[in-house]
Structure 1
Amino acid sequence: MQVLLIYVLIGAITVGIYWAVKEELQPFVVIAGSVVFFSLHDVFSLLILATTSIITFYLLRRGSGRNFYFSLSFILLSFLFIIFKVGVTIEEGSFSASLPLGMSFYLFRLLHYAIESFKGNLRNTDLKSFMTFMFFLPVMIIGPIIRLGDWSKEMKRRRWNPELFSNGMERILFGFLKITFLGNFLVNAKLSTFIRSFEDEQSWIVNYLECFQYTANSYLQFAGYSDIAVGLSMLFGIRIMENFRFPFLATDINDFWKRWHISLSNWCRDYIFMPVASFSRLTWLAIIASMLVLGLWHELSVRYILWGSFHGVGIVIWNLQDKYFGRKLSDGAMKIYSIFGRIITLHFVIFSFAFVKEESVSESFRILLILVGLD
């Protein structure tokens, strides 16, 4: 919470300076705001962000040996992602590599830039535009994973807009409401008290409510931070993509991933699903690969491999049944199908979080067995 308050405070100060200076100086104000924020919170994260950004930019600007420099930048970024996700601890040297703040988001933005530059889609990007994109404060700590092309268009047409500014303030307040009142107070504090009121022998309802609590809190925290990011971007006169769109109203698991962490889902679709599907001609393999990467993006661990695989298999099964059964229903039957689809999808997601809410994989399976009535 302290990081969030510092982030919003620095953001507010940066916005004030941003609109007070000339338009050509505004990108430098954006960069300075992120530099100040990281300097106050984590200088090491700032060094990693600045170093990887500059190296990636200049590697991909090389005219000759384009394949080599793209491969080099891709390997470098992937290595950094893996090494910091796994965590390195050298006892003798007293060195501990913890995850730099926001690294999962900005490394995926860098990978996006590397891939699109290699394709020839971003050749006219200059260093100022690139660094403003990489140091855009609203998306630094919890996304969404914005794309350079869309963001550059918004930067070019940004203007002072009182209505957009007002909407941005509302979104920031709404984000705080989700995080503090709905998430921290109602879901974490009050629901925890309610769960503790059950007897030990009522294990099914206790485990069900705990999985529901974890799911609801994950949504409220992620969506709340995303609301603040979207709102803060509006204060800069820039519209960025929505990251959550009522995911618990999804009619199927495929629809769920079009509503939950949309920027990450789209990233995996474009850079994992499409290449794997094109190369292998196997849609199911591309789906599984995409969901594994999506899971490992959160954490390099067995429990997130299981969580990603669980969702991948669920999407494959749903696609098969929709192909051979769902599309043949009448309009009346489709309405009933959609109602049951929402209920099944919601519980599929709730049950899936049993894999990640516990540190022990065996404990996760024990909870799942209880939930399906087999324990």
Structure 2
Amino acid sequence: MLVLLTYLLIGAISVGVYWAVKEEVQPYVLIVASLVFFSLHDLISLLILSIASLITFYLLRLGSKRSFYFSLCFIILSFLFVIFKVDATIEEGSFNASLPLGMSFYLFRLLHYAIESYKGHLRKTELKTFITYMFYLPVLIIGPLIRLGDWSKEIKRRRWNPELFSNGMERIMFGFIKITFLGNFLVNAKLSTFIRSFEDEQSWIVNYLECFQYTANSYLQFAGYSDIAVGLSMLFGIRIMENFRFPFLATDINDFWKRWHISLSNWCRDYIFMPVASFSRLTWLAIIASMLVLGLWHELSLRYILWGSFHGVGIVIWNLQDKYFGRKLSSKAMSIYSVIGRIITIHFVIFSFAFVKEESVSESFRILLILVGLD
């Protein structure tokens, strides 16, 4: 909570300074705000982000042997990602234990920049634009994973807009309520008290509610921070992509991943699914590879490998049944099919979090067996 409050305080101060200075100075206000935030909370993150950003930018500016320098850059960024993820897992056994603040997000943004630069899409990026993009305060903590091309267009056409500013304030308020009141108070505190009221022999309902609690809290925390990021960005006159779009209204697991952590799903689609599908000509393999990377992005551990594989296999199975069954239904049957699909999807997601809410894989499987009535 201290990190969030500091983030909001620095954001509020920087917004005031940002609109008080000349337009050409505004990007530097954004950079300074991020430097202050990192300096107060995680100097290691600031050091890693600074060094990795400069190495990436200048390596990819070298004219000769582009493939070599891109490969070197890709290896360096992947190594940093893996080494800190492994360190966090070994030391504490939980996500973000000793992980530098925001590292998963800014290293994936650097990988995006490296790949797009190698393709020739971002070769003319100026250093000021690149640094402002990498040190953009609203997305530092928990995303979304914005793309440099889209963000550059927005920052160039930014203007003071009272309506956008008002909408930004509302989004920040909604996000803060999601995190604090709905997530921390209702789901974590009150629901925990309700779960403890059940007797020991009522193991199914206890485990079901605990999985529901973990799922709901994960959504409220992620979506709340995303709301704040989107809202704070609006205060700077810059629109960034939405990261969550009512995921629990999804009619199927494929639709769910178009609504949940959209920026990460799109990143995996563009940089994992498309290359694997093009190379192997196997859609199912590309889907599972994408979901494995998505899982490992959260944590390098067996439980997240299982979680990602579970979702990957679920998407493959859904695609098969939709191809041979779902698309042949009448309009009336399709409405019933959609309702059933929503019920199945939300429970598929809830059950999947049994893999990651426990440290022990064996305990996760025990919970799953209870949930499906086999324990």
TM-score bracket for the superposition, by shorter chain length: over 0.9
Query: How far apart are 1:14 and its partner, in Å?
Result: 0.8
Percentage of pairs with the same residue = 88
Partner amino acid, structure 2, of 1:119: K
Name the counterpart of 1:338. Answer: 338
Q: CA 1:25–1:187 in 2, change beyond 3 Å: closer, same or farther?
A: same
**2:142 aligned with 1:154:** no
Partner amino acid, structure 2, of 1:331: S
Name the counterpart of 1:360. Answer: 360
Query: How far apart are 1:284 and its partner, in Å?
Result: 0.2
Partner amino acid, structure 2, of 1:48: I
Per-residue CA deviation, residues 36-73 of structure 1 (Å, 9 max, x unaligned), is: 00001111110000110011000000000100000000
Name the counterpart of 2:47. Answer: 47
Partner amino acid, structure 1, of 2:332: G
Q: CA 1:338–1:62 in 2, change beyond 3 Å: closer, same or farther?
A: same
CA distance in 1, matches of 2:44, 2:71: 26
Q: 8 Å contact 2:88–2:99 — kept in the other structure? A: no
Name the counterpart of 1:98. Answer: 98
Q: 8 Å contact 2:59–2:73 — kept in the other structure? A: yes
Name the counterpart of 2:70. Answer: 70
CA distance in 1, matches of 2:260, 2:89: 33
Name the counterpart of 1:214. Answer: 214
CA distance in 2, matches of 1:284, 1:90: 32
CA distance in 2, matches of 1:247, 1:200: 32
Query: How far apart are 1:99 and its partner, in Å?
Result: 1.2
TM-score (normalised: structure 1): 0.98
CA distance in 2, matches of 1:222, 1:44: 23
**2:124 aligned with 1:130:** no
TM-score (normalised: structure 2): 0.98
Q: CA 1:88–1:335 in 2, change beyond 3 Å: closer, same or farther?
A: closer
Runs of 4+ in 1 over 6 A off after TM superposition: 88-91
Name the counterpart of 2:322. Answer: 322
Partner amino acid, structure 1, of 2:21: V
Name the counterpart of 1:94. Answer: none
Q: How does 1:256-275 map to 2 (within 5 A)?
A: 256-275=256-275
CA distance in 1, matches of 2:347, 2:88: 36
Query: How far apart are 1:98 and its partner, in Å?
Result: 2.8
Query: How far apart are 1:124 and its partner, in Å?
Result: 1.0
CA distance in 1, matches of 2:4, 2:57: 29
Per-residue CA deviation, residues 5-28 of structure 1 (Å, 9 max, x unaligned), is: 000100111111111111111111
CA distance in 2, matches of 1:353, 1:102: 22
Query: How far apart are 1:179 and its partner, in Å?
Result: 0.5
Query: How far apart are 1:264 and its partner, in Å?
Result: 0.1
Name the counterpart of 1:114. Answer: 114
CA distance in 1, matches of 2:328, 2:69: 50
Per-residue CA deviation, residues 125-183 of structure 1 (Å, 9 max, x unaligned), is: 01000000000000000000000000000001000001100100000000010011111
Q: 8 Å contact 2:89–2:301 — kept in the other structure? A: no
RMSD: 1.2
Name the counterpart of 1:200. Answer: 200
Q: How does 1:289-300 map to 2 (within 5 A)?
A: 289-300=289-300
Unmatched 5+ residue regions in structure 2?
Answer: 92-96
Unmatched 5+ residue regions in structure 1?
Answer: 92-96
Partner amino acid, structure 1, of 2:357: K
CA distance in 1, matches of 2:2, 2:98: 19
